[in-house]
Amino acid sequence: MSAATVNIGNTAFMLLCASLVMLMTPGLAFFYGGLVARKNVLTIMMQSFMSLGWTTVLWFAFGYSLSFGPDWHGIVGNPATYAFLRGVTLHTMFTGNDAGIPLIVHIAYQMMFAIITPALINGAFANRVTFKAYFWFLTAWLILVYFPFVHMLWSPDGVFAKWGVLDFAGGLVVHASAGFAALASVLYVGRRAMLENKPHNVPLIALGTGLLWFGWYGFNAGSELRVDAVTASAFLNTDIAASFAAVTWLLVEWAYGRQPKFVGLLTGAVAGLATITPAAGYVSPTTAVIIGVAAGLVCYFAVALKNRMGWDDALDVWGVHGVGGFLGITLLGVFASTAWNPNGADGLLAGNPAFLGKQLTAAIVCSAWAFIFTYGMLWLINLITPVKVEPQGEEQGLDIVLHGEEAYPLGV
């Protein structure tokens, strides 16, 4: 195809959005790094940056092909079609819509989603998993969970896509999958020998939140894969939901704890971002307000439930991302409106209860898949190499024990 068919505006916008989504992974590293103890900060940050490198290798080798290649039973793509980007040239165009972007732009943009998704899970088993086991986990989880989810929901031939399930930017593909995988990880790995839940650096958490929030505009608005009015509404909905969720979480925590907490405000913002993600391009700004308030309330009480149950989800991945993603997919089934996206669907309030049923079914199936496959692969990995760090390693700190490095060396 001729290079003249390239839409310069859409291509430039999508490259910018890919850059923004890439920035989210370092942002997540800072966010998680501030939440853990001083002696484990490098370990949790390294896991995010490891995904930045290794996921790219897998995506180039066969990940994009498994995700968007020719269909196999609606579950996964042919791994050989685009293996090592075979057949992709300078003039190969993305054919998923008429936006006029080269295929290499779509490959790059979707690669950034693949990078951050498994990195989200790291916070659940923070401070207690060996790096070798994490490396195996990262590889297996992408192949068995993430790549099939992308195909099922975002490839035109995917089983859920053909059924009419919608997920604008990853409520199921990214957040619910990571969140319920996190819950499985917590239940398999077990509790830490030393429970340290006090953040070591709140400004680092704030920096990470800011980078995540900023990058999320590329995450959500970019998922339209072109520049139009839906792009703009997705951008605005992202900010509205995050802001209302942040304030809601702050007020609820203030009411229960008698003090407004900065970490609560930041956590609420991330919950709002995760919850609006599947709905951002399908609902009105007014609906984004409702989704943001719901995210602040439901995710706050999900974290409280986690604490009562004694689940050692160290950085609340299930409560924020798992519950937030599931909630967002469900609320999309209620509030979706073709008035705000003609290519979307009408939800329950617009007289289409069947769409809500499809959304709920997909959410349950995908969450269960992520949970079961994650638990099973951790069991198998533990047969090859120990998953959990020894108690004395936890006490000394994973930075020194696993990597021989320190974030804050004494005397420096």
User: Is the pTM here over 0.75, yes or no?
Assistant: yes
Domain assignment present for residue 410? The answer is no
What is the rounded (10 degree) CA torsion for 271, 21, 39, 50? 130
Domain assignment present for residue 258? The answer is yes
What is the structure's pLDDT at 410?
Answer: 72
What is the structure's pLDDT at 95?
Answer: 93
Domain assignment present for residue 19? The answer is yes
Q: Which two tokens stand for residue 186?
A: 């917590």
Output the CA–CA distances (angstroms, integers) from residue 317 to 31, 188, 246, 300, in the order listed. 12, 15, 16, 12
Residue 15 pLDDT level (bands cut at 50, 70, 90): very high
What is the rounded (10 degree) CA torsion for 211, 216, 221, 222? 80
What is the overall mean pLDDT for the chain? 96
Bridge partners (DSSP) listed for residue 129: 388
Q: For 373-394, what is the mean pLDDT?
A: 96
Residue 2 pLDDT level (bands cut at 50, 70, 90): very low
pLDDT over 60 (residue 393): yes
Instruction: With beta carbons less than 8 A apart as the criterion, state whether 230 and 344 touch.
Output: no
d(CA 51, CA 56): 8
Domain assignment present for residue 197? The answer is yes
pLDDT over 70 (residue 3): no
Domain assignment present for residue 409? The answer is no
Q: What pLDDT, in 10s, does the model give residues 56-88?
A: 999 999 999 999 999 999 999 999 999 999 999
Task: Quote the domain boundaries for residue 322.
Answer: 3-403
What is the structure's pLDDT at 258?
Answer: 85
Q: For 166-178, what is the mean pLDDT?
A: 97
Domain assignment present for residue 408? The answer is no
pLDDT over 70 (residue 159): yes
What is the structure's pLDDT at 109?
Answer: 98
Closest by CA to 147, choosing from 50, 47, 73, 79, is: 79
Q: What pLDDT, in 10s, does the model give residues 325-358?
A: 999 999 999 999 999 999 999 999 999 999 999 9
pLDDT over 70 (residue 4): no
Q: What is the DSSP letter of 93?
A: B
Q: For 192-211, what is the mean pLDDT?
A: 91
Domain assignment present for residue 411? The answer is no
d(CA 271, CA 326): 11
CATH code where residue 321 lies: 1.10.3430.10
* Number of separate domains in the chain: 1
Domain assignment present for residue 165? The answer is yes
Q: What is the DSSP letter of 77?
A: E
